[in-house]
Protein backbone atom coordinates (compact mmCIF):
# COMPACT_ATOMS: atom_id res chain seq x y z
CA UNK A 1 0.00 0.00 0.00
CA UNK A 2 1.27 3.47 -0.82
CA UNK A 3 1.28 6.45 1.51
CA UNK A 4 -1.23 8.16 -0.81
CA UNK A 5 -3.61 5.20 -0.55
CA UNK A 6 -3.41 5.25 3.26
CA UNK A 7 -3.81 9.05 3.28
CA UNK A 8 -7.11 8.57 1.44
CA UNK A 9 -8.28 6.38 4.34
CA UNK A 10 -7.35 8.88 7.12
CA UNK A 11 -8.36 11.99 5.14
CA UNK A 12 -11.12 13.77 6.98
CA UNK A 13 -10.47 12.20 10.38
CA UNK A 14 -10.27 15.08 12.83
CA UNK A 15 -7.97 14.19 15.72
CA UNK A 16 -7.74 16.19 18.96
CA UNK A 17 -4.45 18.00 19.53
CA UNK A 18 -2.13 18.04 22.52
CA UNK A 19 1.12 19.72 23.53
CA UNK A 20 3.63 17.29 25.00
CA UNK A 21 6.50 18.69 27.09
CA UNK A 22 9.66 16.97 28.29
CA UNK A 23 12.68 17.64 30.51
CA UNK A 24 15.74 15.39 30.49
CA UNK A 25 17.52 17.04 33.42
CA UNK A 26 19.35 19.53 31.20
CA UNK A 27 17.01 20.57 28.40
CA UNK A 28 13.28 21.25 28.11
CA UNK A 29 11.11 21.32 25.03
CA UNK A 30 7.58 20.69 23.79
CA UNK A 31 5.72 19.98 20.56
CA UNK A 32 2.24 19.72 19.11
CA UNK A 33 0.97 16.14 18.98
CA UNK A 34 -1.94 14.66 17.07
CA UNK A 35 -1.24 11.00 17.84
CA UNK A 36 -2.25 10.18 21.41
CA UNK A 37 -4.66 7.64 22.84
CA UNK A 38 -5.68 5.89 26.02
CA UNK A 39 -4.47 2.29 25.86
CA UNK A 40 -5.79 0.85 29.13
CA UNK A 41 -8.50 1.62 31.67
CA UNK A 42 -7.11 -0.37 34.60
CA UNK A 43 -4.28 0.25 35.01
CA UNK A 44 -4.61 3.64 33.30
CA UNK A 45 -2.20 4.07 30.37
CA UNK A 46 -1.75 6.69 27.65
CA UNK A 47 0.30 6.43 24.47
CA UNK A 48 1.73 9.60 22.92
CA UNK A 49 3.67 9.50 19.67
CA UNK A 50 6.38 12.05 18.90
CA UNK A 51 7.86 12.61 15.45
CA UNK A 52 11.49 11.50 15.12
CA UNK A 53 12.13 14.87 13.44
CA UNK A 54 11.24 16.81 16.62
CA UNK A 55 13.81 18.12 19.06
CA UNK A 56 11.22 17.24 21.71
CA UNK A 57 11.68 13.55 20.83
CA UNK A 58 15.41 13.83 21.54
CA UNK A 59 14.71 15.51 24.89
CA UNK A 60 11.96 12.98 25.69
CA UNK A 61 14.44 10.13 25.16
CA UNK A 62 16.02 11.06 28.49
CA UNK A 63 12.94 12.34 30.29
CA UNK A 64 11.48 10.11 33.03
CA UNK A 65 8.06 11.80 32.65
CA UNK A 66 6.15 13.64 29.95
CA UNK A 67 3.34 16.17 30.37
CA UNK A 68 0.41 15.86 27.96
CA UNK A 69 -1.66 19.05 27.72
CA UNK A 70 -5.14 18.93 26.20
CA UNK A 71 -5.73 21.91 23.92
CA UNK A 72 -9.13 23.56 23.83
CA UNK A 73 -10.72 25.62 21.09
CA UNK A 74 -9.26 28.79 22.66
CA UNK A 75 -5.70 27.42 22.51
CA UNK A 76 -4.91 28.08 18.85
CA UNK A 77 -1.95 30.36 19.85
CA UNK A 78 -0.36 27.47 21.80
CA UNK A 79 -0.92 25.11 18.86
CA UNK A 80 0.69 27.64 16.51
CA UNK A 81 3.68 28.08 18.83
CA UNK A 82 4.30 24.39 19.52
CA UNK A 83 3.37 23.19 16.02
CA UNK A 84 4.60 26.05 13.84
CA UNK A 85 8.01 26.53 15.45
CA UNK A 86 10.84 24.05 15.82
CA UNK A 87 12.80 23.70 19.03
CA UNK A 88 15.93 23.51 16.89
CA UNK A 89 15.53 27.25 16.24
CA UNK A 90 13.13 28.63 18.86
CA UNK A 91 12.89 28.34 22.64
CA UNK A 92 9.13 27.82 22.63
CA UNK A 93 8.95 27.72 26.41
CA UNK A 94 10.44 31.22 26.60
CA UNK A 95 7.37 32.41 24.68
CA UNK A 96 4.66 31.08 27.03
CA UNK A 97 3.88 30.81 30.73
CA UNK A 98 4.83 27.55 32.43
CA UNK A 99 6.06 26.17 35.74
CA UNK A 100 8.15 23.10 36.51
CA UNK A 101 6.22 19.96 37.41
CA UNK A 102 7.44 16.50 38.50
CA UNK A 103 11.06 15.94 37.45
CA UNK A 104 11.12 19.51 36.11
CA UNK A 105 8.76 18.80 33.20
CA UNK A 106 7.16 22.04 31.97
CA UNK A 107 3.48 22.48 32.82
CA UNK A 108 1.82 25.08 30.60
CA UNK A 109 -0.10 27.66 32.63
CA UNK A 110 -2.65 28.26 29.86
CA UNK A 111 -3.58 24.58 29.51
CA UNK A 112 -5.97 23.82 32.38
CA UNK A 113 -6.21 20.11 31.56
CA UNK A 114 -3.11 17.94 31.57
CA UNK A 115 -1.66 14.66 32.71
CA UNK A 116 1.92 13.92 33.74
CA UNK A 117 2.92 10.37 33.01
CA UNK A 118 5.92 8.26 33.90
CA UNK A 119 7.46 6.80 30.76
CA UNK A 120 7.09 3.01 30.97
CA UNK A 121 8.27 2.20 27.47
CA UNK A 122 9.52 3.87 24.27
CA UNK A 123 8.46 2.09 21.10
CA UNK A 124 9.76 2.86 17.59
CA UNK A 125 6.71 3.29 15.35
CA UNK A 126 7.96 4.27 11.90
CA UNK A 127 8.53 8.02 11.74
CA UNK A 128 7.29 8.43 15.34
CA UNK A 129 8.33 7.11 18.74
CA UNK A 130 5.51 5.93 21.00
CA UNK A 131 5.83 6.75 24.69
CA UNK A 132 3.67 4.57 26.92
CA UNK A 133 2.78 6.58 30.01
CA UNK A 134 1.58 5.69 33.48
CA UNK A 135 -0.31 8.74 34.82
CA UNK A 136 1.19 10.14 38.03
CA UNK A 137 -0.76 13.41 38.27
CA UNK A 138 -3.70 15.07 36.55
CA UNK A 139 -4.80 18.70 36.45
CA UNK A 140 -8.28 19.60 35.31
CA UNK A 141 -9.14 23.10 36.48
CA UNK A 142 -12.76 24.02 37.11
CA UNK A 143 -14.38 26.99 35.46
CA UNK A 144 -12.58 26.77 32.14
CA UNK A 145 -15.36 28.22 30.05
CA UNK A 146 -17.80 25.44 29.30
CA UNK A 147 -21.49 26.16 29.17
CA UNK A 148 -22.67 23.45 31.56
CA UNK A 149 -21.01 24.99 34.62
CA UNK A 150 -19.36 21.68 35.51
CA UNK A 151 -15.82 22.91 34.90
CA UNK A 152 -15.23 20.52 32.02
CA UNK A 153 -13.51 23.01 29.75
CA UNK A 154 -13.96 23.96 26.15
CA UNK A 155 -14.28 21.64 23.19
CA UNK A 156 -10.95 20.13 22.14
CA UNK A 157 -8.87 21.85 19.49
CA UNK A 158 -8.60 19.52 16.50
CA UNK A 159 -6.46 19.05 13.44
CA UNK A 160 -9.00 20.89 11.28
CA UNK A 161 -8.76 23.91 13.60
CA UNK A 162 -5.06 24.40 12.84
CA UNK A 163 -4.97 23.91 9.08
CA UNK A 164 -3.54 27.45 8.91
CA UNK A 165 -0.42 26.48 10.93
CA UNK A 166 2.61 25.69 8.79
CA UNK A 167 4.61 22.90 10.52
CA UNK A 168 7.99 23.90 11.95
CA UNK A 169 9.52 20.96 10.03
CA UNK A 170 8.49 17.89 8.06
CA UNK A 171 6.79 15.13 10.07
CA UNK A 172 9.30 12.36 9.45
Q: What is the CATH number of the domain that holds 125?
A: 2.30.110.10
Instruction: Please state, rounded to an integer, the average pLDDT across all residues of the chain.
Output: 89
Model pTM score: 0.87
For residue 1, being part of any structural domain is answered with no
Domain around 66: 14-139+152-160
What is the number of alpha carbons within 13 Å of residue 133 lying toward its C-beta? 30
Count of domains for the chain: 1
Query: Distance between terminal CA atoms of the chain?
Result: 18
Give the pLDDT confidence score for residue 167 in this predicted structure.
76
For residue 83, being part of any structural domain is answered with yes
Alpha helix (H) residue ranges in 11-118: 55-60, 76-84
Tens digits of per-residue pLDDT, 128-144? 999 999 999 999 875 44
Amino acid sequence: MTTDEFDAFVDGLDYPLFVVTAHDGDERDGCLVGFATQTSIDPPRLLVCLSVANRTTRVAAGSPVLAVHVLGERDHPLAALFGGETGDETDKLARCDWRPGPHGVPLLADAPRLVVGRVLERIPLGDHVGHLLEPVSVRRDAGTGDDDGEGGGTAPLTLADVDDVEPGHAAG
